[in-house]
A = this chain, B = another copy of it.
Amino acid sequence: MTPKVRLHLDQPLVPGQPLQLDRDQSNYLFAVMRLEVGQSILAFNGRDGEWVATVAAASKRGGELFVQHQTRPVQLPPDLWLMFAPIKKARTDFIVEKATELGAARIMPVMTEYTNAERIRQDRLQAHAVEATEQCGGTFVPVVDDLQPLSRVLAGWQPGRQLLWCDEAMVGASRPLTDLPRGPWAVLIGPEGGFSAAEQARLRALPFVHALSLGPRILRADTAAVAALTLWQAALGDWG
């Protein structure tokens, strides 16, 4: 029987390896999920795939697991970043959850001229990405960066990486994504108020930027993020 509980443990996962649990993990497994010695969970660390690990010692203050066998190899995402302007808390959480599910490798909150948020709780968003990976059965946790200005990210742009810009002002069809080069990419979603005229002009002038239309309707930022990641994955990612 496949264990029901999945847990992210930042420790090496190799057969026979003992895993020490901290207080939070122990509390979750033994107080909340009521696991007992001899029962198993699925463990992953983001690098070594998914493993069955069995409870060797159960205590709410600190328990120990024992790594058994691998159930799945690690499934790395394509080299895809999601850049987005943070919005309301619940919808920002949602974007992190969905980017994790859809297979983004890195999640970059960026500050634009019309972004309301001036800071984010990076640790909380990273924990949210871990939780989303635990729940969706993934074996890789995307890195969540701290908030940084879009202008600085663009100024220090990594050579060779393409940027798919969801341009609300774009009318009509964009170039088919399948015609674009494969390789490292980023997807950029604007804030609810859109990009400023200066930001739009700058993005349009950058050689690595490709505009994408998401249809004739106004989409919320969280919807646009899911839609753009989906179109990218289907055309240039690992969904093909």
Instruction: Mark A residues whose CB is within 8 Å of B.
Output: 75, 98, 101-103, 135-138, 173, 213-220, 223, 226-227, 230-231, 233-234, 237-240
A223 near B173: Cβ-Cβ < 8 Å = no
Bound Cα distance A213, B238 (Å): 11
In addition to A75-B216, A75-B217, A215-B239, 10 A-B residue pairs with Cβ atoms within 8 Å of each other are A98-B223, A101-B217, A101-B219, A102-B219, A102-B227, A136-B217, A137-B218, A215-B234, A215-B237, A231-B234
Within the complex, which residue of B98, B215, B218, B240 is in contact with A233, where a contact is CB–CB below 8 Å?
Answer: B215
25 CB-based A-B contacts, threshold 8 Å: A75-B216, A98-B223, A101-B217, A101-B218, A101-B219, A101-B223, A102-B215, A102-B217, A102-B219, A136-B219, A136-B220, A137-B218, A138-B217, A138-B218, A214-B230, A214-B239, A215-B233, A215-B234, A215-B237, A215-B239, A226-B226, A226-B227, A226-B230, A227-B230, A230-B231
Collect the chain B residues with CB atoms within 8 Å of residue A215's CB. 102-103, 233-234, 237-239
Bound Cα distance A120, B171 (Å): 38
Collect the chain B residues with CB atoms within 8 Å of residue A101's CB. 217-220, 223
Closest to A213 in B: B239
Q: Please list the 10 inter-chain residue pairs (A to B) with the smallest Cβ-Cβ separation, ordered nearest first.
A: A215-B239, A227-B230, A137-B218, A226-B226, A230-B230, A101-B223, A136-B218, A173-B240, A101-B219, A103-B217
